[in-house]
Amino acid sequence: MIGSVLIANRGEIALRLVRGARECGIHAIAVYSEADRLAPHVLEADEAYCIGPAPSSESYLRGEAIVALAKDVGAEAIHPGYGFLAERADFARMVEDAGLVFVGPAPETIAAMGDKTEARRRMKEAGVPIVPGLTEAVADPEAAEEAAADIGFPVLLKASAGGGGKGMRVVSEPGELRRAFEAASREALAAFGDGSVYLERYLARPRHVEIQVLGDAHGNVVHLAERECSIQRRHQKLVEEAPSPVLTDEERARMGETAVRAAQAVDYRGAGTIEFLYQEGECFFLEMNTRIQVEHPVTELVTGIDLVEWQFRVASGQPLDFGQDDIRLVGHSIECRITSEDHLGGFLPSTGAITHLGVPTGPGVRWDGGVLQGTEVTLHYDPLLAKLIVHAATREAAIARMARALDELVVSGVETCAPFHRRVMDEADFRRGDISIRYLDEHPELLEENEPESELIAAAVAAALLEDDHRRHRAPRIGTSRAEPVSAWRRAGMPGGAS
């Protein structure tokens, strides 16, 4: 096993990696910006070094400085986490050229999967079904018109260098194509420095289902089943679960085999994810993510396999010590991303100090957090504060457990999207598993203020008073009496319960 690793990240994933490293007996070296001096990943690491001011471009994105620091302090490896430098082939190359281990796939694999048309070519060759459409960029609007006529409308223009929805345009009819081509190309150029675009058939109401894969440096690849990640807003996932509520065991096995083939086609090493769009029983390759993902815990909980441990083991040259047949799914897991965003009025970012943090615990609850009481939430970084993850025997029990855990969660000082999640857990389509990437478009009420009806307020007040009275007379008085009405309000579903 490698002896030490520099963790080139911050927030909840940096802490997750510090924890994983220490459990593997690996010396964990953190880096931090001036804004993160007292961040939990810094406090828990064995060593930590300041790498610059708060803006990411002057700290967490300084690849060269980070590699130089790793050499200086004697780190053997660099783990990039997700975001920042994680999918920059040039960074991975720089790490290897410095004689360090990059915890992730080969730089060539990262580069190939980062180019969306090349990824489609590689997958097509490997016999992986891709969304019908082109595997080369289109040169001009005329070429796009020709291709679109073949594919059939509606089509989707996408950036070749893309990902994340930038430079994407839906085109419903031939007359719109020229303008859309120009807009998509301009947006792609601004976002990726490369204006090339290509075309796919547009799928109107797919699910986002992704398969976790794990490969070693000896040619072994297994899949760890799927995650359903359809509930998202503007390409930001909000709720993820494993397994998907709709896949049959046969579909799971088939998609899994497809994902393994996809990974083998690019000599995949480490933990990776094959994204698919799933619609009406058909699934199509979308993209491959060559990193550990935010939502990896739901896979860990249903498979019992520690993905971060395996990232370190594979990076150390160890072979997988289990095969596909050894992997069994147990129960159901759900993750809610707790972000510092106010879900009412458009997920506006909320900043300030976290003045109180009450973290849910108890059976089947996992909290992967990156903040503490006192942490200052700024606009410098992504708003993900923590992930609340539950595991239970069935999907229904997992939903109940998540609802309970969300009720226990208290975050004061900044707004979070936790109340949004609490509503999702009660929403009928979600409970039925009837979700697609359009879930939030179809449920605008989840983002609106729901002022309680006056009768409901009266009923809740009556309930609170009754319970208080009941406790005074029948129950031993323990704790502070002030706390009692609060819990009754919470049980009545009133504001101020969980914030």
Q: Which residues participate in catalysis according to the annotation? A: 291
Minimum distance between the CB of residue 257 and ligand MV4, rounded to whole angstroms?
22
Residue closer to ligand MV4, measured from CB, 202 or 489: 202
| Contact code string over 85-124 relative to ligand MV4, x by CB under 6 A | ----------------------------------------
- Distance in angstroms (rounded) separating the CA atoms of residues 187 and 313: 40
Contacting range for ligand MV4; rule: CB under 6 A; set: 3-11, 73-81, 198-206, 265-273 = 198-206
Give the angle subtended at the CA of 262 by the CAs of 287 and 123, to the nearest 5°. Answer: 65
Minimum CB–partner distance for residue 251 and ligand MV4 (Å): 18
Return the bridge partners of 30, or none: 7, 48
CB of 438 to ligand MV4, least distance (A): 8
Per the structure block, which two tokens stand in for 208?
Answer: 């986002």
Nearest distance from residue 37's CB to ligand MV4, in Å? Answer: 35
Whichever of 163 and 364 has its CB closer to ligand MV4, that residue is 163
Residue 181 makes contact with ligand MV4 by CB under 6 A = no
Question: Which one among 76, 187, 287, 484 touches ligand MV4, defined by CB under 6 A?
Answer: 287
152 is a site residue for ligand MV4 (CB under 6 A): no
Structure tokens that stand for 351 in this block: 């900043």
| Nearer to ligand MV4 (CB atom), residue 273 or residue 350 | 273
Contact call for residues 33 and 10 (beta carbons, < 8 A): yes
Stretch that binds ligand MV4, among 79-87, 107-115, 203-211, 219-227 (CB under 6 A): 203-211
CB of 284 to ligand MV4, least distance (A): 7
CB-wise, 104 or 163, nearer to ligand MV4? Answer: 163
Task: Tally Cβ neighbours within 10 Å of residue 163.
Answer: 21
Which of the stretches 63-71, 202-210, 334-342, 442-450 binds ligand MV4 when contact is defined by CB under 6 A? Answer: 202-210
* Closer CB to ligand MV4, 158 or 380, in the complex: 158
Q: Give whichever of 130 and 459 is closer to ligand MV4, judged by the CB atom.
A: 130
* Interaction between residue 131 and ligand MV4 (CB under 6 A): yes
CB of 67 to ligand MV4, least distance (A): 29
Q: CA–CA separation, 212 vs 292, rounded Å?
A: 9
Neighbours of 360 (CB within 10 A): 19
Among 16, 208, 227, 269, binds ligand MV4 (CB under 6 A): 208
| Residue 202 near ligand MV4 by CB under 6 A | yes
The amino acid occupying position 317 is: G
- Range 220-249, binding ligand MV4 (CB under 6 A): 232, 235
165 is a site residue for ligand MV4 (CB under 6 A) = yes
Cβ atoms of 102 and 75 closer than 8 Å: no
Residue 203 tokens, joined: 């799928």
With CB under 6 A as the contact rule, the residue among 61, 119, 147, 203 that binds ligand MV4 is 203
Distance, in Å, from the CA atom of 11 to the CA atom of 28, rounded to the nearest integer, reads 15
Task: Tell the smallest beta-carbon distance from residue 168 to ligand MV4 (Å).
Answer: 6
Distances (CA, A) of 148 to 74, 132, 145, 153, 202: 54, 11, 5, 7, 11
Tokens at 474, concatenated: 């029948």
**Amino acid letter, residue 292:** I
Length of the chain: 499
Cis peptide bond N-terminal to 243, omega within 30: yes
Closest approach, Cβ 202 to ligand MV4, in A, equals 5
Q: Which two tokens stand for residue 403?
A: 């609802």
200 binds ligand MV4 (CB under 6 A): yes
Is 289 a residue that touches ligand MV4 (CB under 6 A)? no
CB of 124 to ligand MV4, least distance (A): 15
Q: Which two tokens stand for residue 445?
A: 């009420």
Q: Judged by CB under 6 A, how many residues of this single chain contact ligand MV4?
A: 17
Between 53 and 165, whose beta carbon lies closer to ligand MV4? 165
DSSP per residue over 384-439, as a string? EEEEEEEEESSHHHHHHHHHHHHHH-EEESS--SHHHHHHHHH-HHHHHT---TTH
Give the nearer residue to ligand MV4 in terms of CB position, either 29 or 336. Answer: 336
SS3 content of the chain, % helix, strand, coil (to 5): 40, 25, 35
Nearest distance, CB of residue 234 and ligand MV4, angstroms: 8
Burial per residue of 11-39, b for 16 or more beta-carbon CB atoms within 10 angstroms, e otherwise: bbbbbbbbebbeebebbbbbbbbebbeeb
Q: Are 196 and 159 in contact (CB under 8 A)?
A: yes
Is there binding between residue 144 and ligand MV4 (CB under 6 A)?
A: no
Q: Interacting stretch for ligand MV4, rule CB under 6 A, among 19-27, 160-168, 212-220, 243-251?
A: 160-168
The 8 Å CB, 24+ separation contacts for 444-452 are 446/343, 446/420, 447/343, 447/344, 447/345, 447/346, 447/347, 447/420, 448/344, 449/344, 452/494, 452/495
Question: Which residue among 11, 52, 81, 163 contacts ligand MV4 (CB under 6 A)?
Answer: 163
> Would you call 113 helix, strand, or coil by DSSP?
helix
Residues 408-447 that bind ligand MV4 (CB under 6 A): 437
- Between 231 and 492, name the residue whose CB sits nearer to ligand MV4: 231
Question: Binding to ligand MV4 by residue 276, rule CB under 6 A?
Answer: no
Which positions touch ligand MV4 (CB under 6 A)? 131, 156, 163-165, 200-203, 206, 208, 232, 235, 277, 286-287, 437
